[in-house]
Every structure is written in structure tokens, then in C-alpha cells.
DNA sequence: GCGACTTCTCGAACATGTTCCGAAAGATAG
DNA sequence: CTATCTTTCGGAACATGTTCGAGAAGTCGC
């Protein structure tokens, strides 16, 4: 039976910290799409399968990298007004995630929220706390956070995947090819928008829509409604 | 130079319709996670690479399957009130997507909206049209739709990936292990919620939050605000 | 009939994440 | 020192999506 003395077994040659450091190095040097398990192992001079003794998954690795990044990026000087505090916190989370292109790969990981580090959890706390301060019950506060979270995740994921279209062919739909092969006579409004859609979709309206969402959620919860003037 | 007469080249042995039919068959019989390109080719008795002459990608294949499904599922008897019409359309889209577990794999595909079929586009048209009827400009209407779309995509993706946890170990956090390894003294509200979080997160609040979102968006756009009573 | 052209088919190959299982290396007990 | 035990290491192997290039099977112009 093992004494509580020292550890036994073969001493490790690799540490989790080394792995994370090497991963950061690869990302900074070669770009994040070059970060594969094999390449990471080669960078460390170890066998690829050894990584799986220090990291559960590739997903696990990326989440830990993301947590480190969040710890450095998430600076908080949050407004005191509850509504503004919620909006500011969500924007901070959003911007921190949007700055990492590969965050999109792990954003929907199972139990993602549970695996967050302290700084990110403090943002969640800020949102839930501000919602409570605004008059929400704790149930309503959690639901409010989840709505914001879904919206944020969706925005980042859709944007991350449609940014890759810039590398496409240059002759992108000269005339009215956007809503192609569709019976536009039954879609009058879409036909009226026509090719302005891509330009409109490219605009960043995250913050504006977020404000509307928060106002709507607070109003539905019976909390203080505060409709902002039109944008 | 090719006349506009008949087609030339080797006559095809496989058609896109056959491929889609075989894919449906595999999904119905073996489950959708068994649908791989190799298995699909084997089902048809052709080489795996032949598929890529009839289908651009695996993503392309799934989007076409999804379009077929949407055509059968999306039935519309939409309310006449603009606000309710927007909500009903979004719920219809959401439910149609949520019924396909593998929709999560293609929801963020590049140009997804552009590749939708007529029935799905009619839902988009309904939302944009109702927003216009409620007093939005066409720009505001597109932004409103995008907000709803992001929220819907996020909800489906997060839910799809966290449903896989049911197969996990049974002793799921007996006491207060949900917000683990976190300094709960700095997270008073999260500590207060504690282990009620998973149960709250499992509740389906899509429709309720959607209604709040739409109300907020319409109010911000200067259109008719109509705050519903608390839920 | 014949050569050029076009379209389709598919085996070989590549990179990826991940699992399996045996081997290595040190601690502990006798 | 020897035996056992525990932990770490890593090569072989598998399934996956996808690309490449060569070959097959038709039509078209002459």
C-alpha cells in the first residue's frame, strides 16, 4: 500500500506546462491551423501518444489554452448600472473569444462553462449578479445568462466560418446571384434586399443586438425596463 | 466546340438522387453517426472517391439532406401579427433543425443561408417581411434576422454537444462539485446557485428568450414595442 | 473508322485524432 | 539484490475526409 510519502512509478519527462508552452509557440510561429497533435509532439521531441497522458483531448488542450488567454485578456472595470454591467460583461467575453479564431472549435465542447477558469467565471458571476440586482430571481438570472451565451456562441461560430470565404473566387456574384435558384416572386422582401445582403451581414451588430436582447430579457423578467433610443 | 445538343463524356453510373437516398437509408437504419463517406460508397457499391463527383463535400451532402428534411417539416400557418409571426417562424426553423441531431455539423457552414432551399428561405422571408411590417427598415430587418439566427444556432449547437453527457458516469457530482476548483468566495451568486445550475440549464427556454429578444429588437428599431407579461 | 475531347470511376495515398498494448523506468517491500 | 508495483512512454494500427492521377467509356468533327 502506498505511503503518503512520495510518488511512485516512472518519473515523467513531460509536463502539462511544457505542452501548453509548446502549443503557444507553434501557434505564434506557424499559425493556429498548424497546431496538430503530431506536430506538437514533434516540437517537444516526444511520441504523439504521450500527449494523451497529460491532456485528455485535443479539445482539452485548446480549452486550457483558451483559459490562459482569457486570464490575460479579461480586464474588468464594469459599470455599476446592472443593465450596462450585463452588456459590458457579455461584450468582454465576446471580444475575448472572437480574438481567438480557434475558440470556435471548442466553444460547444461538453461542459464548457464548467471548465472555465476563474476570470471567465467572474464574468458569468457579474452577469448573474447584475441580473439579480436588476430584480431577477436566480432562475431568471441563469436563463438570462444562457440566452446571452447562446447568442454569443452563435455569433462567433457563424462569423468564424464565413470569414473563410474571403479566399474564394474574386468574381463573387456580379449581379443578382446571391439568392440564387430561388423563386424570388414568392420572396418579395428578400428580392428587394437582393445583393445588399452580404454587405449587411458583414456589419458588426453584436453589441447593438445584445443591448436589445438584454433589455427584452429584463423586461420579460419583470425587472426594470429601460429601452434605449434607436441606434 | 460543344453544341447545346446532348451531353458528352462517359455516362454516369451514379446520380445525386441515388446518393441522397442511400444516405437517408443508412441514417434510418444504422443511425446518423454511422454515415461516413466510405460507408455510403459501400452501400452504393461504388468507390469512395466517386462520391466527390456528385457532391462537393460531406458538408454539401448534409446540407442537401437537411434541405430535403426542411421541405417536409416546415409547415407554415403563421400569425398575422408581425411580432408573433417573427417568433413563430423562428420557432419553426429552430424545431426543424433541432429535430436533426447532425444539423449541428453543418449549421455554421460557409454561406449556409445562401444554400437553403425554398421552404427555408420562405421562413427567412417571413421574418424579414414581418419586421418590415412592424416598422423596421430593410437594414434593421436583416439585422433582426441575423440576431435571431445567431441565437438559434448557438442554442442548437450548445444543446447538441451537451446532450452527449448523458452517457457519462452516473455519480455526477454528488455534492457541490459543479463549480469546481473555483474560488467561490469571489463568486457569491454562482455559489448560491450551486448545483441547481445543471437543472436550470437543462430547461428549454428557447421560446421565452426568443420572445424577449424579438421585443427588444423591435423596440430598439423604433418599431411597435409590446412587452409581454412575465412568464 | 479515327483522333480529340469530355465526363466519370476509383485505387493509392496523405494527414488527422485517437486507442491498444507492450516496454521502460523508478519506488517500495522482502 | 530481487520481485513486485506503479506510472510514463511511444510505436503500430484504425477510421475518417479528401486529393491526385491514371484509366475507362462515351460523344463529336471529320
Alpha-carbon dihedral sign for residues A88, A91, A96, A99: negative
Residues B59 and B70: their CA atoms lie apart, in Å, by 16
Dihedral, CA of residue B127, residue A160, residue B212 and residue A138, to nearest 10:
160
Supply the DSSP symbol for A162. H
* Confidence label for B39 from pLDDT (cuts 50, 70 and 90): very high
**Chain A neighbors of B152, CB-CB under 8 A:** 154
The nucleotides of chain C lying under 7 Å from a protein CB are 5-13, 15-20, 24-29
Other CB atoms closer than 10 Å to residue B171's CB: what's the count? 7
Q: Which residue has the cell 449547437?
A: B157
Query: From the C1' of D16, which residue's alpha carbon is nearest?
Result: B36
pLDDT for A90? 98
Q: Kindly report, residue by residue over A29-42, the tens digit of the pLDDT.
A: 999 999 999 999 99
Q: Using 50, 70 and 90 to split pLDDT, how confident is the model at A4? A: very low
Q: Quick one: pLDDT band at residue A6, thresholds 50, 70, 90?
A: low
Q: Give the model confidence (pLDDT) of A79-127 as tens digits.
A: 999 999 999 999 999 999 999 989 999 999 988 999 999 999 999 999 9
CB contact under 8 A, A157 and B108: yes
State pLDDT tens for residues B83-94.
999 999 999 999
State how far Cα A125 lies from the chain centre.
17
Integer Cα distance of B40 and B23 in angstroms: 6
Long-range CB contacts for residues A108-112, cutoff 8 Å, separation at least 24:
A108/A153, A108/A157, A108/B104, A108/B157, A108/B158, A108/B160, A108/B161, A109/A59, A109/A63, A109/B161, A110/B161, A110/B162, A110/B164, A110/B165, A111/B162, A111/B165, A112/A63, A112/B158
Which of residues 51 to 90 on A have a Cβ less than 7 angstroms from any strand C atom?
Answer: 52, 57-59
| pTM as predicted | 0.91
Enumerate residues 6+ apart whose C-beta is below 8 A from A155.
A94, A206, B150, B154
Which 8-state DSSP code applies to residue A10?
S
Sign of the dihedral defined by the CA atoms of residues B173, A126, B219, B141, in that order: negative
Asked if B6 CB < 7 A from strand C, the reply is no
The pLDDT value recorded for residue B225 is 53
pLDDT at B53 over 90: yes
DSSP secondary structure of A204-215: --HHHHHHHHHH
Instruction: Give the gap in angstroms from C-alpha B6 to the nearest C-alpha of chain A.
Output: 23
pLDDT at B183: 82
Task: Name the closest residue on chain B to residue A128, using Cα atoms.
Answer: B189
A134 inside 8 A of chain B by CB: no
Per-residue pLDDT band for B228 (boundaries 50, 70, 90) equals low
A158-208, pLDDT tens digit by residue?
Answer: 999 986 555 444 444 445 567 766 788 999 999 999 989 999 999 999 999
Task: State whether residue A173 sits within 8 Å of chain B by CB.
Answer: no
**Grid coordinates of A51:** 500527449
Amino acid at each position: 500500500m502506498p505511503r503518503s510519502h512520495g510518488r511512485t512509478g516512472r518519473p515523467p519527462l513531460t509536463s502539462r506546462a511544457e505542452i501548453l508552452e509548446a502549443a503557444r509557440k507553434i501557434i505564434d510561429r506557424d499559425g493556429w491551423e498548424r497546431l496538430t497533435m503530431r506536430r506538437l509532439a514533434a516540437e517537444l521531441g516526444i511520441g504523439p501518444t504521450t500527449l494523451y497522458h497529460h491532456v485528455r483531448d485535443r479539445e482539452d488542450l485548446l480549452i486550457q489554452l483558451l483559459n490562459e488567454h482569457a486570464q490575460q485578456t479579461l480586464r474588468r472595470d464594469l459599470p455599476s448600472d446592472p443593465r450596462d454591467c450585463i452588456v459590458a460583461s457579455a461584450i468582454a467575453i465576446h471580444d475575448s473569444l472572437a480574438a481567438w479564431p480557434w475558440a470556435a472549435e471548442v466553444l460547444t465542447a461538453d461542459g464548457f462553462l464548467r471548465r472555465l477558469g476563474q476570470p471567465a467565471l467572474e464574468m458569468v458571476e457579474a452577469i448573474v449578479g447584475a441580473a439579480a440586482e436588476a430584480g431577477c430571481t436566480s432562475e431568471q438570472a441563469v436563463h438570462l445568462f444562457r440566452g446571452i451565451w447562446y447568442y454569443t456562441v452563435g455569433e462567433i461560430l457563424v462569423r468564424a466560418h464565413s470569414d473563410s470565404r474571403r479566399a474564394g473566387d474574386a468574381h463573387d456574384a456580379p449581379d443578382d446571384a446571391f439568392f440564387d435558384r430561388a423563386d424570388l416572386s414568392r420572396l418579395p422582401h428578400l428580392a428587394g434586399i437582393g445583393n445588399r445582403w452580404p454587405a449587411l451581414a458583414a456589419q458588426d451588430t453584436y453589441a447593438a443586438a445584445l443591448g436589445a436582447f438584454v433589455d427584452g430579457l429584463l423586461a420579460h423578467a419583470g425587472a426594470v425596463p429601460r429601452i434605449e433610443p434607436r441606434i
